[in-house]
Structure 1
Amino acid sequence: MLLSVAGGSRIMYLTYFGLQDKPFSITPDSKYLFLTKQYESALDALEYSVRERLGFSVLTGEVGTGKTTIARTFLSKLGDGFESALLVNPLLSIPEMLQAINKDFGCATRVLSPQRQIESLNKFLLDSASTGKNAVVIIDEAQNLSVESLEMLRMLTNIETDRAKLLQIVLVGQPELTKKLETYELRQLNQRITVRANLVPLQFVEMVRYINHRVTLAGGLNKIFFDATAYKAIWRSTKGFPRLVNIICDRALMAAYVADTATISGDIIRRAVKDIGVVAPRTGWLSALKNLKVNRLLCRLYTKP
């Protein structure tokens, strides 16, 4: 075991390196967004769809490719001309989903029936449109939505004027979302999607810049150094998945602190990878994620005292 007191060391390495905060937290934070071409393209596409009131748009990507970060960044860029609702738990019944949307919009009603919820939402959307505002709902982990819930969302976009749709919906999810939308039951909804963006893992050069970007923003410029062997070792273990890069780099900083060094070497990375049980991907992104067992890994690392 490389470190037996991970939690305490994680805090102490901030002081050791003179950092303002953790550069490799796995919590989505727009501040640390590294705007690659694909991320910029995805943000532009979503913004275009919403501002033009086109109705539905979809953002997909494998686990750990930065979907939630992009969604939250998009949300923060909307400005005062928008009303927004964010659903992060789509495992809801239709009445619960409608109530959650209305609650975020500030128009919730105590009556849980879909009819009353839709009436309340309809009034809110008309009132917003009369003041020149646009309304957008972002649903994360949308691959978990039931067919019935997705159909209800389609029905909500029928609330419109002669010129534009009053509700814009952004579905964010894993590739399973695309497969679900392609089913016969959802063919009407699938035809209404005007913008589709898909995120893939970082390329090697992007990954190097991503790491340096996060270190710099956290206050680690000229304080923390990754050598060439470290970058190669990170790439072999993560294949460019940002979340996995963060996990390994965070553990490597703890290891460097314990070793009293500011230089992250390939050896430190390999020991960190071994310590947290990461297995190098073999074939394909989906197989890679299955091999890495990301969800189990996150539970092990971030539920320890």
Structure 2
Amino acid sequence: MYQQHFGLQEAPFGITPNPAFFYSGNTRGEILSALLYAVTLGEGIVKVTGEVGCGKTMLCRMLEARLPRGVDVLYLVNPTLGPQEVLHAIAAELGLDTSGRRADEVLRALHGELIARHATGHRVVLLVEEAQAMPLETLEEVRLLTNLETARSKLLQIVLFGQPELDQHLSLPRMRQLRERITHSFNVPPMPRDQIPYFLSHRLRAAGYHGPELFSRGAVRLIARGSEGIVRRINVLADKALMAAFADDLPYVNSYHVRQAIEDSRYSCAAVLGNRSMIAFDRLLAICLRRRPT
């Protein structure tokens, strides 16, 4: 909607993870490098935790994109599956037909397929998102898959991505065996305030922007306060602030535009907003639609 107004080739602050917009600051580049090393090493289970919206899925997509040739990536898209269901789901990711097979038969088929891929020089990595939602019994079943190995290497590398609740689950006595299999743990931190201007600039440049800084210092400070450093919130607030600036026909984003975005998103308290009256975003959207080029 506002791309042409600001000289953008695409929307810079979408919340769908897009590797083209990956920001390597605030340890994210280092975490990605460490993940690549850990997965390439191929030992044990790797764990990545962080708050909702902090960028775990982006790291997951970047990991897949950067893995070398010969590494086959599997996704476990439904972490709420039961122990037997998860075996069928992983087998399906490998292209196996397991309909009507018992759990032990599925496990044998999995083992055979992993050995066959290993014989051709391929390694297999299983990426599990939202792992904190996985039943404990299913986590244990996944742990048992790391027992599939040759004399020299594991046949399946597992990377768990989850919210802090995953650590709570792993701290339980019954999860001790899984906890001991985790060889590398990484935490994705919130974005500190001093990094947010660089993050915003990086996303804008990646979207094709070539002009001066779009967000005023006051606007950046409010985005930092309203988002509390959560990347998804930063993107949402920045996108809505750009819409507000577009509705005002201005070439920059000021504090007032961010206040409108915060009010609409309900991310922060009155201490951030003050007592100023905000225009409702449904009215703002109507203004933007009227201004959109035909």
TM-score category by the smaller chain? 0.7 to 0.9
Deviation sequence 1:273-302 (CA, Å, 0-9, x none):
1122221499xxxxxxxxxxxxxxxxxxxx
CA shift in 2, pair 1:223/1:17, >3 Å: farther
Matched, 1:93 2:82: yes
In structure 1, what is the equivalent of residue 193 of structure 2? 204
SS at match of 1:51: helix
Residues 130, 162 of structure 2: 8 Å contact kept: yes
Larger Rg: 2
Instruction: Describe how 1:179-218 pairs up with structure 2 within 5 A.
Output: 179-218=168-207
Matched, 1:127 2:109: no
Tell me the number of residue pairs that the alignment of Structure 1 and Structure 2 aligns: 272
Once superposed, what is the RMSD of the aligned Cα atoms?
A: 1.8
Aligned counterparts of 2:176 and 2:211: Cα–Cα separation in 1: 54
Aligned counterparts of 1:279 and 1:45: Cα–Cα separation in 2: 34
Q: 2:247 aligns with which of 248, 258, 274?
A: 258
Residues 125, 135 of structure 1: 8 Å contact kept: yes
Matched, 1:29 2:8: no
Aligned counterparts of 2:53 and 2:144: Cα–Cα separation in 1: 31
Q: 2:47 aligns with which of 44, 47, 58?
A: 58
**1:122 Cα deviation from its structure 2 partner:** 0.5
Aligned AA (2:161): V
Matched, 1:153 2:142: yes
In structure 1, what is the equivalent of residue 106 of structure 2? 117
Aligned counterparts of 2:117 and 2:94: Cα–Cα separation in 1: 10
**1:265 Cα deviation from its structure 2 partner:** 0.5
Segments of structure 2 that go 5 or more residues without pairing to the other structure are: 272-294
In structure 2, what is the equivalent of residue 294 of structure 1? none
In structure 2, what is the equivalent of residue 178 of structure 1? 167
Aligned counterparts of 1:81 and 1:122: Cα–Cα separation in 2: 18
Segments of structure 1 that go 5 or more residues without pairing to the other structure are: 1-11, 283-305
**1:224 Cα deviation from its structure 2 partner:** 6.3
SS at match of 1:194: strand
SS at match of 1:245: helix
* Identical pairs, percent: 37
Aligned counterparts of 1:141 and 1:158: Cα–Cα separation in 2: 23
Aligned AA (1:74): L
Aligned AA (1:132): G
In structure 2, what is the equivalent of residue 103 of structure 1? 92
**1:234 Cα deviation from its structure 2 partner:** 0.7
Aligned AA (1:126): I
